Structure 1
Amino acid sequence: MNLASHVVDSARIHPDRAALRLGDAAVSYRALDQGSARMAGVLHDRGVKPGDRVAVMLPNVPEFALAYFGVLRAGGIVVPMNPLLKSREVAYYLGDSGARLLFAWHTFADEARTGAQQAEAESVVVSPGSLDELLVSARPTEHLTDRHEDATAVILYTSGTTGQPKGAELTHANLTRNCDIVATELFRLTADDVIFGGLPLFHAFGQTCILNAAVTAGACLTLLPRFDAGKALGIEGYGTSETSPVASFNTLQAGPKPGSVGIPIRGVEMRVVDKDSMDSKEVPHGETGEITIRGHNVMKRYWQRPEATAAAIRDGWFYTGDIGRVDQDGYFWIVGWTKDVIIRGGYNVYPREVEDVLYEHPAVADALRSR
């Protein structure tokens, strides 16, 4: 199994269709296939072997897809990174993951270079057209490196509010099955569809629901390097980096419930348990508790953190740390976070509940909290 097989399949079926668009420029599926094959050749020439980690610090530009699928084709592990990271953070991500090669966008080159130097990693600065120059001289690696379905494909770092970010190991099976469900069942994508690419591709939802779903369907992904709320519309779902990421969704078939995060996707179970009980007893409908998730989408483990893994995954269930409830129709609602709670008079009060009350006042336009 290899997640990059979706590129090969779509290029075979729709070679001349646009895979990616940025402004007036387009990249066909044939070009994406050939470009990612050449990227795999570049990586091979630089000594990247199956299982090696390669960091990608790029915004929503075609170069992200070329690097992402090139690493996967070579059998490497992609470490996506926010382009806005500072040098200290860059050094941490590279050092923790063991990535010795970083592809960074030219706009953020100074921070990327400094961080890479601190982590003793090589940095390759990418600018419009520069990657094409690098690839044109490379010998393409036509075949996909075979990887076991349980082999790690991507290490996504969680943005936890306490301690250092942890790397969630997502396997080829995790990501392939999750994006297949998104493309064929949740969105019902076809090759005639055009997908708005506003979610950041370094994020779990951007990769699964945008990039991989589009490529799976042979659809066209229109990229937006910087999010503009005026150009975007909201569709609600739920998941975490550790769940590849989609766990539930307001599906077209079941119909949406505004404010909820929908129902579990196929092959995934969700439940709400009493976070204070020793046996994680499931709470009745309508009562709040911690949301737990089990299914093909749950990560393999946290990268090099066995204790954190043991605390988060118990008896096959991933404990999200999110507080929610489920209604009589099986729709889930998020109300807070386990570490984001106010205890008043012996009662647990979640900020989301306070926000909901504030929203009812006609003079309140928005209610925000900071952690």
Structure 2
Amino acid sequence: MGVTVRALEPLDATGRPTSGLPFGLSQGVIGVIGTASTGYKVVVDTQVLNEKKVRAALSKNVPAAGKQMVGVERSCRSAKAIADAWNTVGARAWSDDANRTTFAADLDPASENIVVEYDQASTSPESVEGLRGLTGVQVTAGGLERTSRLSDTPKGGHWGGARISSSSKNCSAGFSVVRRSDGKRGSVTAGHCGGVGTEWKSGSNFYGTTSVRTNYPDYDQSLLTGSSYGPRIWTDGPGDSASKRTVTGGADPGVGAVICQSGSFSTSLCGLTVRSTSAKYCDVDGCTTYVIRATRGGQIAIMGGDSGGPVYSRPSSTTATIRGITFAGAGCTSSRCTTLYAERYASITGHLGVRALTG
């Protein structure tokens, strides 16, 4: 559907509409509503856009099997009114301190409003009053801030895939967990990253302390506790279309499955094919057994410092199913490796007595 909407208007070299408006709005497309199970409707302002133009674009860009699931619906508000509201929000002139207001805005095609969420901790009453006075704008209070996997904040709970550093080593956080014994939250990472008592930071933020690491190297996994942990993983990078994903479950992958990994040095890498779930990795420390071996067609699959990061699959555009955590690589040149080894989800949860924290 996104291809259909983008085909209706001119885009710049980076793929952004030259109008500065949400995709399709300059041509009269308000947006797309629906789901794959219920079908989709393209909401259009028929005073601006000839319906035949939309149907022609749909015919060209939607596969034949999906055409019966797509329809066209006339909007209640005009594209011009919605564009005016969008531009008014973007002009940041609704109060004297609007330029200091942290907010996020998007066009909701269902309500045909511009939905604005502002950071209530740093937004003045004057700015809130100004926002609420705008026509065609739906305003909600929230908490917003720019974050990074390199300095993962505990606000709202640390995420998996963050870079974590001890006094001697850089690694990656795996995913947040709940202990079955007491219901308390924690996070996991590779066991070789540090023994019990190792303290971890992400940038300037305290991430946790290694509280459990047993039977290393038979198991290359450990539990971190002592901070706040949330149900998301960082997935920004070249391999994934989403910069973050909400964890909705976990399970071992099957042989032949295509997965992703999110390490703090390589960031997200996808298109890895699972070759085995019973591989063995041995070095001077000993052997780690019954682990995932995955490759990426000769391309880089893992880098030094990625150890502990989550291995996942993508059940939807915003969610992740945890498959394991990385701990080693092979085919390596300058710490860039073409084969990935990872502990399986069932091994981690069974050995450490945890389950993935889901959102």
If the length of structure 1 is used for normalisation, what is the TM-score? 0.29
Give 1 or 2: higher strand fraction. 2
Give 1 or 2: higher helix fraction. 1
If the length of structure 2 is used for normalisation, what is the TM-score? 0.29
